[in-house]
């Protein structure tokens, strides 16, 4: 047993209730976040300032009483430190003005990126020293595939046309990039753990862009390699994998196995399906549709369904099926957390 129910739940140990936290729980729906971001000037400066990043990491824990904090940062700081200029454009999202095109672009990437992310490690150390002892701190990274997609497309994409053309015409280029990202990410996660992270989550937000065979070749196998590397060094640290939108690939995911602890279920995967396919092998995290939070009634209905399927026993961490939205009401988020705690009391 640990003193953190989130960590106990990751290892299927009994807990007083089902733990809950929310992806993107720190962010624009919180007025106290907007105040700190205004002080920082912009989003990236906020990520670069350990004092302010620490403050916004802890805000949702204080307001909502979630069972874990997630490091405030962004997956794109990694390519940024590999040498790619990064912009966050209002109402458009992140942008790399000079995306990767040639082999020379790959050769120019800085393989010392993990050493340069000192502001992330400083934020983690600060948060861990100030966070309540019974609340876990989750570190994170983007998956190699999701980061590679941004680095090649230069921005978010609906069609994935540029990156998929690379897969079709120059798979060696893709593997070379994914290999570089894997090495950096392994080091990055270990350094986050050494700085005080109690668990780590890998976000594969663009998993669903790939057909089954390509998903395993270009995404999942690299995530499993990272998990194996981190597990070998830090077996007591839970590893959470979030491949978004892969409900059709669960049989193959099960068959492959892999040394990770928690499988994160997105909202398009029915929780009963995830339970049937993977629930005995991995702890499941998820998966309430975030827009249910627009109404208390829809929230209650969502919680009742998920709790009915997952039961009150160990094996589940409550979360949303993707991130919080900027126009959600913090009061409904608090309602959700209290409801889950109350309904799952053992
Ligand atoms: O609370 C938390 O979950 C921790 C912080 C966190 C952020 N981004 C803060 C953020 C985490 C874990 C992320 C991960 C992230 N970033 C992912 C993977 C998870 C997912 O959502 O699929 C991705 C794909 C990104 C890339 C990214 N960063 C996008 C697409 C955007 C713009 C999206 C939008 O809603 O505008 C960002 C910016 C970003 N990252 C914000 C926050 C709070 C909004 C920035 C702002 O304050 O204006």
Residue 90: band (very low, low, confident or very high) from pLDDT cuts 50, 70, 90 = confident
Can you tell me which atom of ligand 1 is nearest the CA of 33?
A: 47
Distance (Å, rounded) from C-alpha 271 to C-alpha 136?
24
Residue 91: band (very low, low, confident or very high) from pLDDT cuts 50, 70, 90 = confident
Distance (Å, rounded) from C-alpha 192 to C-alpha 237?
11
Average pLDDT, the chain: 97
CA atoms in the 13 A half-sphere facing the CB of 308? 7
The best mutation among 22, 23, 24 to test binding of ligand 1, ranked by most ligand atoms within 8 Å of the C-beta, falls on 24
Three-state SS at 244? coil
Residue 2: band (very low, low, confident or very high) from pLDDT cuts 50, 70, 90 = confident
Closest-CA residue, ligand 1 atom 23, reads: 75
**Which residues on adjacent β-strands are paired with residue 285?**
264, 317
What pLDDT is attached to residue 334? 98
Q: What is the dihedral of CA 120, 121, 126, 128, to 10 degrees?
A: 110
Cβ neighbors of 211 (< 8 A, separation 6 or more) are none
308 CA → ligand 1 middle, Å: 31
Digit-coded pLDDT (tens) for 30-78: 999 999 999 999 999 999 999 999 999 999 999 999 999 999 999 999 9
Digit-coded pLDDT (tens) for 178-212: 999 999 999 999 999 999 999 999 999 999 999 99
Digit-coded pLDDT (tens) for 278-318: 999 999 999 999 999 999 999 999 999 999 999 987 899 99
262 CA → ligand 1 middle, Å: 21
Active site residues: 24, 28, 37, 74, 150
Token pair, residue 86, equals 């990064």
C-alpha torsion sign, points 222, 228, 234, 238: positive
Distance (Å, rounded) from C-alpha 288 to C-alpha 183?
33
Residue 253 clears pLDDT 90, i.e. is over it = yes
What pLDDT is attached to residue 94? 97
What pLDDT is attached to residue 4? 98
What pLDDT is attached to residue 1? 75
Residue 89: band (very low, low, confident or very high) from pLDDT cuts 50, 70, 90 = confident
For ligand 1, whether the C-beta of 64 sits within 6 Å is: no
Domains and CATH numbers, the chain: 5-343 (3.20.20.210)
For ligand 1, whether the C-beta of 323 sits within 6 Å is: yes
- Percentage of the residues of the chain whose pLDDT score is greater than 70: 100
The best mutation among 38, 64, 70, 75 to test binding of ligand 1, ranked by most ligand atoms within 8 Å of the C-beta, falls on 75
Token pair, residue 7, equals 């960590």
C-alpha torsion sign, points 200, 84, 175, 186: negative
- Percentage of the residues of the chain whose pLDDT score is greater than 90: 97
What pLDDT is attached to residue 229? 98
H helix and E strand count, the chain: 17, 9
Largest Cα span, the chain: 58
Digit-coded pLDDT (tens) for 212-228: 999 999 999 999 999 99
Q: What is the dihedral of CA 96, 102, 104, 106, to 10 degrees?
A: 60
Closest-CA residue, ligand 1 atom 27, reads: 94
For ligand 1, whether the C-beta of 43 sits within 6 Å is: yes
Can you tell me which atom of ligand 1 is nearest the CA of 71?
A: 4
Three-state SS at 22? coil
For ligand 1, whether the C-beta of 243 sits within 6 Å is: no
Sheet with 316-320, edge to edge strand ranges? 68-70, 136-142, 199-204, 239-243, 262-265, 283-288, 316-320
216 CA → ligand 1 middle, Å: 25
Q: Enter the pTM of the model.
A: 0.97
What pLDDT is attached to residue 266? 98
Is the Cβ–Cβ distance between 243 and 223 less than 8 Å?
yes
What pLDDT is attached to residue 12? 97
For residue 203, what is the DSSP state?
Answer: E
For ligand 1, whether the C-beta of 74 sits within 6 Å is: yes
How is 279-339 classified by DSSP, letter by letter?
Answer: TTTSEEEEEE-GGGGG-HHHHHHHHHHHHHHH-SSSSEEEEESSPPPTT--HHHHHHHHHH
């Amino acid at each position: 047993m640990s003193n953190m129910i989130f960590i106990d739940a990751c290892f299927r140990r009994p807990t007083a209730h089902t733990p809950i936290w929310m992806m993107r729980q720190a962010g624009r729906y919180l007025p106290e976040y907007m105040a700190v971001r205004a002080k920082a000037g912009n989003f990236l400066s906020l990520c670069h300032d350990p004092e302010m990043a620490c403050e916004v990491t802890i805000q949702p824990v204080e307001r909502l009483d979630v069972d874990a904090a997630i490091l405030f940062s962004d997956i794109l700081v990694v390519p940024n430190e590999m040498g790619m200029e990064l912009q966050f454009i209002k109402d458009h999202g992140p942008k790399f003005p000079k995306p990767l095109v040639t082999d020379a672009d790959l050769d120019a990437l800085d393989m010392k990126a993990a050493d340069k992310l000192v502001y992330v490690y400083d934020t983690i150390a600060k948060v861990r020293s100030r966070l309540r002892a019974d609340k876990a701190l989750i570190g994170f990274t983007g998956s190699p595939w999701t980061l590679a997609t941004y680095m090649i497309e230069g921005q978010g994409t609906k069609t994935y046309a540029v990156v998929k053309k690379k897969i079709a015409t120059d798979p060696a280029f893709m593997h070379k990039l994914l290999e570089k990202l894997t090495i950096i990410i392994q080091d990055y996660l270990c350094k986050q753990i050494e700085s005080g992270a109690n668990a780590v989550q890998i976000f594969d937000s663009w998993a669903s862009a790939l057909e089954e065979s390509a998903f395993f070749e270009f995404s999942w196998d690299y995530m499993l390699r990272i998990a194996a590397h981190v597990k070998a060094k830090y077996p007591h640290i839970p590893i959470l994998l979030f491949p978004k939108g892969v409900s059709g690939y669960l049989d193959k995911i099960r068959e492959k196995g892999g040394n990770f602890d928690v499988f994160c279920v997105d909202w398009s995967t029915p929780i009963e399906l995830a339970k049937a396919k993977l629930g005995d092998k991995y702890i499941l995290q998820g998966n309430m549709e975030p827009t249910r939070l627009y109404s208390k009634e829809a929230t209650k209905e969502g919680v009742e369904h998920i709790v009915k399927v997952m039961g009150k026993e160990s094996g589940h961490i409550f979360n949303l099926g993707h991130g919080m939205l900027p126009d959600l009401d913090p009061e409904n988020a608090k309602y959700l957390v209290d409801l889950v705690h109350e309904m799952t009391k053992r």
